[in-house]
Homo-oligomer: A and B are copies of this chain.
Amino acid sequence: MTGTTTPPPATDLGLAESLVRLASLVQRTFVEVGRRYDLTAQQATLLCRLAEGPVGMTELTRMLHLEKSSLTGLVDRVERRGLVARTPHSCDRRAHLVVLTPQGARAATDYHDDLIARLDTMTCELPPDDRDRLERLVAQVLAGATGCTSAERAE
């Protein structure tokens, strides 16, 4: 029903440039929402990753794309605030699992819900069909980048 077949975008930044701006906008939203809960974007990301269950340090470095020493510091800071705890691994005595405390779980949920609500607000003026289309297109980009990148294959 969109009259023309595929008209070029009105304000033509190019797709890549548009993605840069979108990413910056979303990134700023991470930070703004984080401030409400006194969480940095990195801390919030960590908590959200732990919401599904305990994760080992090494696995976390892969999930967050951090060096292990960087993760040590990040976990230290949220542990000091009582949001996570290090628990011994059952079989490997070198390893630790990082788990959310009840307080950390609450923070993770609150942050996540708030973030999603804000992002939904950002797209709420799009008609439902367009939102679905956008989601599907983004998913395709993510599938390509996450699944088939040469960097990912090399790893």
Residues from chain B with a CB closer than 8 A to the CB of A103 are none
Per-position 1/0 for A18-35, Cβ under 8 A of B: 111111011110100000
User: Which chain B residue lies CB-closest to A26?
Assistant: B23
**Interface size grouping (class) on chain A:** 35 or more
Classify the interface of chain A: helix, strand, loop or mixed. helix
User: With A27-B27, A145-B25, A145-B122 as given contacts, are A14 and B116 in contact (CB-CB < 8 Å)?
Assistant: yes
A67 at the interface (CB under 8 A from B): no
10 cross-chain CB contacts under 8 A: A6-B129, A16-B123, A18-B142, A20-B115, A22-B26, A22-B142, A126-B140, A130-B137, A134-B134, A137-B137
User: With A26-B20, A115-B20 as given contacts, are A6 and B133 in contact (CB-CB < 8 Å)?
Assistant: yes
Which of B8, B119, B141 lies in contact with A126, CB distance below 8 A?
Answer: B141
Q: Give residues in A with beta carbon < 8 Å to B.
A: 6, 8-23, 25-28, 30, 65, 115-116, 119-120, 122-123, 125-126, 128-146
CA distance A10 to B132 in the complex (A): 11
Which of B8, B9, B65, B135 lies in contact with A18, CB distance below 8 A?
Answer: B135
